[in-house]
Amino acid sequence: MITNLFIVAMGGAIGTALRFLINAATVQLKIFNIAAGTLLVNLSGSYFIGVLFAFLLKNPNFTSLKFFFATGLLGGFTTFSAFSLENMQLIKDGDMKNALLNILTQNILGILLAYFGYLTGKGLQ
């Protein structure tokens, strides 16, 4: 249990640091008044969780990889709380069009990218 906790914590620290760096690098960049950093980390995280899922289906004994990458790194990297806050701010500002666009874009593309990541991961084996 302690070993798995350590593995998750290490992955989470790396994922969180990567998210911070991407958000810092894209702080001024907006796509349809949507924070580009959050969009980028959520969509790329969706893709990579699909790749990892495909790999783990073929290699179920890699529990440490699941803890490190899925729970830790990708859990720390993607950010539903920032996504929620940014949408709340858009709604508060009366920008319902961009709030809806952000919600639909990140959810639909996130699911599609998770699926494409899964297909990629399947093809790598």
pLDDT digits (tens, 9 = 90+) for 41-93: 999 999 999 999 999 999 989 889 899 999 999 999 998 888 998 999 999 99
- Supply the pLDDT for residue 31: 83
Q: Residue 71 to residues 27, 93, 104: CA-CA distances in angstroms? A: 26, 34, 24
Would you give the distance in Å from CA 10 to the centre of its chain?
A: 17
- Supply the pLDDT for residue 81: 81
| SS3 at position 57 | helix
79 contacts 110 by C-beta, under 8 angstroms: no
Amino acid identity, position 58? K
Tell me the pTM: 0.84
